[in-house]
Amino acid sequence: MAAHPWDRAIALVDMNAFFAAIEQQDCPEYRGRPVAITNGLRGTCIITCSYEARSYGIRTGTRLRRALALCPDLVRLPARPHRYAEVSSRIMAALAAEITPDIEIYSVDEAYLDLTRCQRLHGDPATIGRRIKQVVFAASGLLCSVGVSGDMTTAKFAAKQQKPDGLTVIPPWQAAARLRAVPVTELCGIARGIGDFLERHGVRTCGDMHKLPISVLGRRFGNPGRRIWHMCQGSDPTRLTYEVAAPKSLGHGKVLPPATRDRELLLTWLLHMSTKVGARLRRHQLEASRFFIGLRADLGWLGGKPRLPCPGADSGAIFALCRQVLDRSWDGEGVHQVQVTALDPRPASQQLELFAPGDDRRRAVHAAVDRVNDRFGALALAPARLLGRSDMPDVIAPAWKPSGHRRTV
């Protein structure tokens, strides 16, 4: 039992090179070797890589050609999202059962645990941190890094300090001093735009924040700005979120070979993304009317936010919007990525809209195709244009959670 329990104790569990570690565990011949994961055998961008690969300068987002130039012996493996989701679910269930039910599953490889209520049961926060690592290893055979502090932001910062297989404990009363010399942009949630704003006001490190009135951030960014002020003081007031909120958007994208100019190839990938978005909407009994259809070129995103006449989840109708956007927005410039996102997903209506197209046959076809694909794998049945390109596996979104709408890849 902790002699003097902290008023608030938060842990952040961060799995180490999660996808690559699973591949090395499942295939012992890859252990100790530089391993990189791509989205299928056609993927040209590194999703994640092992620590052996990182020692060569390879990182998430590195193009495969560049990675092979840095490390000719690199082992390139296609992603297996369902395997990663399976292991993640096992880890999260073990943490909830053996440490605390007060857990926020932040992503497929990260979770926050509120240890405040379990200190008298499991001991002081440092002891609980060690126990967390043991529980994770027992559930998965994998290593993790754990950060423990009195708030979510400092706990996440602490977890990054020792990788792999680290444990960093920053008591709440030491948090402000520990963060004082840390650049504000190293804290989770402070991106370049906010960092530039803070720099214009003389704030480069967390220790500089005390010179800036909280009201300045409040006027510019509202409550998130006020939270940033507290984050830099080591006193983030944010509480864990235990309920999975309904998705605010739902989409799929594909990174293409640099400067792709083949119109038919662009249409193929837009159809692929439309098919996946439509199937995912239907799987969760959702529909949408407004979509983002985007093509990322050298100077930024091309595209628009077209609407369907009535809310729906018809992949063909979504692809028709893609064709319209491509014809209207694209002039032949090189495209590096395509994206199709439902911007306003909502529960599907239980009765037909008054003026909705009454295509019962098309709905029946979608239902049959979905049943086949659920049983035999995504795109087992698919439009002919996707033949030869349906081997791209689904990917796990950063916001994936093993419950609610996010239990999907």
Nearest partner of 314 among 339, 330, 291, 337, judged by Cα: 291
Nearest partner of 79 among 16, 18, 29, judged by Cα: 18
3-state secondary structure 343-394: CCCEECCCCCCCCCCCCHHHHHHHHHHHHHHHHHCCCCCCCHHHCCCCCCCC
Report the DSSP beta bridge partners of residue 110: 14, 107
Q: What are the CA-CA distances from residue 148 to residues 160, 234, 393 (Å)?
A: 11, 12, 35
Q: Report whether 14 contacts 157 (CB < 8 A).
A: no
Q: Give the Cβ contact number of residue 64 at 10 Å.
A: 16
Q: Give the Cβ contact number of residue 65 at 10 Å.
A: 11
Tokens (6 digits) for 140: 């998965």
Rg (CA), the chain: 23
Q: Report whether 229 contacts 209 (CB < 8 A).
A: yes
Q: What are the CA-CA distances from residue 248 to residues 215, 290, 400 (Å)?
A: 29, 12, 13
Q: How far apart are CA 132 and CA 142, in angstroms?
A: 12
Torsion of CA 189, 193, 196, 202, to 10 degrees: -50
Q: Is the peptide bond preceding residue 164 cis, with omega within 30 degrees of 0?
A: yes
Q: Is residue 406 helix, strand or coil?
A: helix
Q: Is residue 341 helix, strand or coil?
A: strand
Q: Which residues are catalytic?
A: 110
Largest CA distance in the chain: 69
Q: φ and ψ at 29, to 5 degrees?
A: -65, -15
Q: φ and ψ at 206, to 5 degrees?
A: -60, -35
The enclosing H or E element of 220 equals: helix 214-221
